[in-house]
Amino acid sequence: MNRLLQLGLLLTLVATVHAQVQHDFWPGRERVIPHVSGDEMWSGTYKNWKDSEAVKKSMAAGMMSRDINFKDFRWLEKSFDGELKVDMGREVFHRKSSNGRSCATCHGENGEKLKGWYATQPRFSAKANRVIVAATQISICAKEHLSEDWPENTRNNSLLDMYLAYLSDGRDVDIDVTSGPMKEAYEKGRDLFFKRTGHFHFACASCHTGVTTQSYLRGQRPSTFFGDAAHYPIYHFPYRLPGDDVEDIFTLQHQIKSCQMLSRMLPGVEGSRTLTAIEVFLKASANGYKMSIPTQEYNMSTGYLLRDGL
Ligand code: HEC
Ligand code: HEC
């Protein structure tokens, strides 16, 4: 009898923990659509930042950065050190490896064959037989064609990531998540984004939806998850994660990991299926929004404090 009671208690405990771990989502998953205009149902600020004209008008009308979902920094502060990283990336693109080849050998002197490509990433790769991010494609080509070991989250990989993204500057983000492996990745990414986890029991959505996107969090400003992926990778001087050697470039993979660490979640591995799925979700949430590369981390700009009267 005693044993049965113990077993019963144990099962109840397991069931409770299971319910907490498996089913504790931040509310709102069902309201998400894979397009930047989906923001209308969340912050309702989309009309203020839907293109650069709208951003300019909003600023002229004296709106605060948070009412523009912090997109003012993405459009209006483009001439800065990020340009230097594009130049460095271009240099790596042309650098000859021991077999006499460079990326440019196969993809065009100015990368012309890859223009617009980044705006369509991540995508399903038949070769890798899974959905991959740009950094993974770079790593595959570097290894196969140049015998270089440039995995995700290393210096040359991140520089190339910045350069390839720059080749899509001004293009509309356009990834199709309506069927197949991309749909699966999108739904997985969405669920991970809304799932509470980690030491603080936060979900990504805890900070990137709702009231926290209308205010300042210890001087930092989380935006809603719509549109931001169109501006990645970014230049993020001088903020580094432990062990970083990525020229202060934050690819979207790196940003996701950074937020996981910041909010005491278990940080994922860049290029892994899990972080790739989150990237698919974020990029699809920027569908229809123009890429703006290179841009910088907005906390590096102090102009907003003055502008917003803080
Ligand atoms: C010897 C030729 C060769 C070299 C050198 C090469 N690639 Fe590739 N690359 C390919 C081929 C072939 C594919 C298509 C097959 C695949 O996905 O791997 C490809 C695919 C790509 C794609 C995806 C394009 C698409 O349309 O989907 C990107 C991006 C890319 N390479 C970047 C690079 C970068 C960056 C480098 C330098 C590190 C590089 N490649 C070096 C041959 C090359
Ligand atoms: C505790 C609050 C918090 C949580 C939880 C959180 N973030 Fe963030 N996030 C922020 C803040 C604050 C910023 C902006 C400031 C910064 O980067 O320092 C940010 C920035 C971002 C950006 C960049 C936005 C831009 O325009 O540059 C992305 C993308 C992002 N987070 C994704 C995520 C993902 C994915 C998760 C879940 C793994 C997550 N965040 C969890 C607070 C959070």
Task: State both tokens at 120.
Answer: 């369509």
CA of 107 to the centre of ligand 1 (A): 7
Q: Are 43 and 214 in contact (CB under 8 A)?
A: yes
**pLDDT of 15 higher than 70:** no
Cα–Cα distance measured from residue 284 to residue 69, given in angstroms and rounded to the nearest whole number = 17
- Residue boundaries of the structural domains of the chain: 26-78+171-307, 82-166
CA of 89 to the centre of ligand 2 (A): 25
**Most informative mutation of 208, 236, 237, 279 for ligand 2 (most atoms within 8 A of CB):** 208
**pLDDT of 69 higher than 90:** no
- The residue-averaged pLDDT of 57-70 equals 88
pLDDT score recorded for residue 161 = 98
CA of 34 to the centre of ligand 1 (A): 28
Say what the alpha-carbon torsion angle 220, 75, 238, 94 is, to the nearest 10 degrees. Answer: 150
Q: Are 23 and 16 in contact (CB under 8 A)?
A: no
- The residue-averaged pLDDT of 213-234 equals 85
pLDDT score recorded for residue 125 = 98
**pLDDT of 224 higher than 80:** yes
- The residue-averaged pLDDT of 230-237 equals 91
- The residue-averaged pLDDT of 101-113 equals 96
Highest mean pLDDT among 23-32, 55-64, 77-86, 115-124: 115-124
CA 199 centroid distance within chain: 22
Cα–Cα distance measured from residue 40 to residue 33, given in angstroms and rounded to the nearest whole number = 11
**Most informative mutation of 107, 112, 125 for ligand 1 (most atoms within 8 A of CB):** 107
pLDDT score recorded for residue 79 = 52
CATH 3.30.565.10 fits 26-78+171-307, yes or no: no
Ligand 2 interacting residues, C-beta cut-off 6 A: 193, 202, 204, 206-208, 217, 220-223, 228, 255-256, 259-260, 263, 265, 278, 282, 299
Query: Global pTM?
Result: 0.92
Least trusted range by pLDDT, from 18-22, 250-254, 266-270, 292-296: 18-22
CA of 194 to the centre of ligand 2 (A): 13
Handedness of CA 290, 291, 295, 301 (dihedral sign): positive
pLDDT, tens digit (0-9, with 9 covering 90-100), for 76-91: 666 567 899 999 999 9
Residue 290 has phi, psi (to 5 degrees) of -75, 140
Residue 212's pLDDT band (cuts 50, 70, 90): confident
Between 276 and 74, residue with greater pLDDT: 276
pLDDT score recorded for residue 304 = 56
pLDDT score recorded for residue 296 = 80
Cis peptide before 242 (omega within 30 of 0): no
CB atoms within 10 A of CB 272: 14
**pLDDT of 302 higher than 70:** no
**pLDDT of 295 higher than 90:** no
Q: Identify the residue whose C-alpha is closest to ligand 2 atom 35.
A: 256
Between 185 and 217, residue with greater pLDDT: 185
Between 138 and 55, residue with greater pLDDT: 138
Average pLDDT for the chain: 89
pLDDT score recorded for residue 284 = 98
Between 213 and 298, residue with greater pLDDT: 213
Residue 11's pLDDT band (cuts 50, 70, 90): low
Cα–Cα distance measured from residue 190 to residue 130, given in angstroms and rounded to the nearest whole number = 18
Least trusted range by pLDDT, from 12-16, 224-228, 246-250, 259-263: 12-16
Residue 145's pLDDT band (cuts 50, 70, 90): very high
Q: Which class would CATH give 82-166?
A: mainly alpha
